[in-house]
Amino acid sequence: MIRQNIKIAVDAVVFGYKDKALNVLLIKRDIEPFKDSWALPGGLVLEDESLEQAVERELKEETNVTVDYMEQLYSFGKPNRDPRNRVVSVTYFALVKPEHHDIKADTDAKDVAWFDVQDLPDLTFDHKTILEKAKGRLRSKLTYEPIGFDLLDDKFLFSDLEKLYMTILEKQIDRRNFRKKILSFNILEELDEKVSEGRGRPANLFKFNKKQYFKHQKEGFLFDIK
Amino acid sequence: MIRQNIKIAVDAVVFGYKDKALNVLLIKRDIEPFKDSWALPGGLVLEDESLEQAVERELKEETNVTVDYMEQLYSFGKPNRDPRNRVVSVTYFALVKPEHHDIKADTDAKDVAWFDVQDLPDLTFDHKTILEKAKGRLRSKLTYEPIGFDLLDDKFLFSDLEKLYMTILEKQIDRRNFRKKILSFNILEELDEKVSEGRGRPANLFKFNKKQYFKHQKEGFLFDIK
DNA sequence: ACAAAAGTGTTCTCCCTACACCCATGG
DNA sequence: CCATGGGTGTAGGGAGAACACTTTTGT
């Protein structure tokens, strides 16, 4: 077998919807290179763990977050993306409900924070590229899978869902058509709770019924929002 | 930096459309482990080449094929997928026009051949899983990007395009609606050449106009076949 | 009473679908 | 002249898009 000294790492782009904006979880590095710079959470894969286990471990260690939804994003392997050795990074795309998690810096991280994707600090390595790829994945996935609910609280307002779609897809959405469309899928439960957001008419809370979704999906139903 | 001895490889799933069927390019291994078994072309990445260069080099070495279309598929990294060392494989999805290539076994390969995906030999490692993933990507991609043309000869019959879609999507397609739809995209040139396939009325040849496609795409046009 | 946000229905257009007959050639 | 595959049009239904007024609450 030929000699090869390439390291393999994992990095995670963790999105959360917070303060009516799309946020991403970043850590402030506590080790060289790029100590004190902001970066995506991640690190080298251990000999006997799977890639998924590696991401989950690194996320837990560096940020104290456990994700609700995760999938592989893309692998980055240009020879000089890391100044030390050559490192190939398998990146993951994850969604969490920020209010469910107490973020906390620990191993290798000096700080952790949510950043509005519209207002990001400089990122190390090629992490900006990775983040852009993840944004693209989120945008397209939002239209054909009900992953928006993994970003919202369990109980949410219809207007929140609508704002989430408008924020991420970066376009205006007609309230009536959107509501009609989503309700026609029969994957939401309308709760008997109302919430008043300070002013205006109180709004009804909704809940995503994942079981219903899987059931409809098995019967050939396709989630699809333009 | 922690000790880590994981190797990184690339593997390619190369599809070609041949004899009215979807084919995949396989090699018969000439080295252990699994010498003499059929596998996807691929191998370890060299220190100073990018992942894409690695795939292209391995493909050239093992099969003599240069691809027309290639994109990253997925990375596989379970700890025991290779019996020797731990190997993480970044896999690629590629399309070629089989009639443009003279396949030829060379380095590490004792034989190369096209196999109808409906009639495959046993594959080594987790290559069956990789192939399934690639089939899924091909199916979905075919519906929202004009990649079918990368599988057909430059000049092709409408009926070939139609058969290709029916074969890969595994469903019947209405000839009139399909033709109407594709033609409405204005991305085909109808040539003044007719071809007689033995019997029946001679058919017109068509050519995919990539420039037109890119132009329309820039103007917001979306390729979309149900 | 007014400001703010929630909730709701109809019409029009366009695209998808279903469907059947004639045409050009070779044998 | 017959068998084989190529080429074409139309009508009906359904889904998306556009669009504005009423309701409920807090102040």
Q: Are residues A119 and A59 in the same domain?
A: yes
Mean pLDDT across chain A: 96
> Dihedral of CA B114/B119/B121/B124: which sign?
positive
Three-state secondary structure call for residue B105: coil
* Contact (CB<8Å) B77/A49: no
Q: How many domains does chain B have?
A: 2
pLDDT digits (tens, 9 = 90+) for B50-80: 999 999 999 999 999 999 999 999 999 999 9
Mean pLDDT across chain B: 96
Q: Are residues B58 and B155 in the same domain?
A: no
Return the closest nucleotide (C1') to the Cα of A162.
Answer: C6
Distance from CA(A203) to C1'(C6), angstroms, rounded = 6
Q: Are residues B103 and B181 in the same domain?
A: no
CB within 7 A of strand C: which residues qualify? A 157-159, 175-177, 179-180, 197, 199-204; B 174-177, 180-181, 194, 196, 198-202, 224, 226
pLDDT digits (tens, 9 = 90+) for A98-137: 999 999 999 889 999 999 999 999 999 999 999 999 999 9
Tell me which of B73, B95, B126 is where a domain ends: B126
Distance from CA(A224) to C1'(D22), angstroms, rounded = 30
The type of residue at B100 is H
State the CATH number of the domain containing residue A171.
Answer: 1.10.10.10
Q: Are residues B25 and B120 in the same domain?
A: yes
Q: Is residue B140 a part of any domain in this protein?
A: no
Q: Domain range holding B170? A: 148-218
Dist CA B94 CA A116 (whole Å)? 37
pLDDT digits (tens, 9 = 90+) for A10-38: 999 999 999 999 999 999 999 989 999 99
* Contact (CB<8Å) A4/B5: no
Q: Are residues A152 and A117 in the same domain?
A: no
Which whole number is the average pLDDT over B148-161?
Answer: 97
Q: Are residues B195 and B112 in the same domain?
A: no
Q: Are residues B118 and B170 in the same domain?
A: no
Q: Is the pLDDT of residue B1 over 80?
A: no
Find chain B residues with C-beta within 8 A of A49's C-beta.
Answer: 79
Close Cβ partners of B130 (under 8 Å, ≥ 6 residues apart):
B11, B13, B40, B73, B74, B76, B89, B91
Q: Is the pLDDT of residue B179 over 70?
A: yes
Dist CA A14 CA A124 (whole Å)? 16
Tell me which of A96, A126, A156 is where a domain ends: A126
Q: Is the pLDDT of residue B87 over 80?
A: yes
Tell me which of A126, A156, A176 is where a domain ends: A126
- Cα–Cα nearest to B40, from B8, B68, B12: B12
Q: Is the pLDDT of residue A74 over 90?
A: yes
Q: Is residue A159 a part of any domain in this protein?
A: yes
Q: Is residue A61 a part of any domain in this protein?
A: yes
Q: Is A5 on the interface with B (CB under 8 A)?
A: yes
Q: Is A4 on the interface with B (CB under 8 A)?
A: yes
Q: Can you give the pTM of this predicted structure?
A: 0.95
pLDDT, residue A1, reads 58
Q: Is residue A226 a part of any domain in this protein?
A: no
Q: Are residues A11 and A102 in the same domain?
A: yes
pLDDT, residue B3, reads 82
Q: Are residues A89 and A184 in the same domain?
A: no
Which whole number is the average pLDDT over B78-107?
Answer: 95
Helices (H), B72-157: 127-144
Q: Are residues B93 and B169 in the same domain?
A: no
Token pair in block for residue B11 = 């593997």
- Banded model confidence at residue A197, pLDDT cuts 50, 70, 90: confident
- Could you identify the residue whose CA is nearest to the C1' atom of nucleotide C16? B177
pLDDT, residue A199, reads 86
Q: Is residue B171 a part of any domain in this protein?
A: yes
Which whole number is the average pLDDT over A44-49?
Answer: 97
Q: Are residues B116 and B170 in the same domain?
A: no
Q: Judge whether B11 and B41 are in contact, CB under 8 Å.
A: yes
**Closest-approach residue (CA) in chain B for A90:** B75
Q: Is residue A167 a part of any domain in this protein?
A: yes
Q: From the list A74, A84, A86, which residue is nearest B72 (CB)?
A: A74
- Cα–Cα nearest to A92, from B77, B196, B119: B77
Q: Is the pLDDT of residue B2 over 90?
A: no
State the CATH number of the domain containing residue B82.
Answer: 3.90.79.10
Optimal mutation site among A4, A32, A48, interface B, most CBs of chain B within 10 A: A4
pLDDT digits (tens, 9 = 90+) for A83-100: 999 999 999 999 999 999
Q: Is residue B174 a part of any domain in this protein?
A: yes
Q: Are residues B105 and B153 in the same domain?
A: no
- Could you identify the residue whose CA is nearest to the C1' atom of nucleotide D25? A201
Q: Is residue B143 a part of any domain in this protein?
A: no
pLDDT, residue A198, reads 80
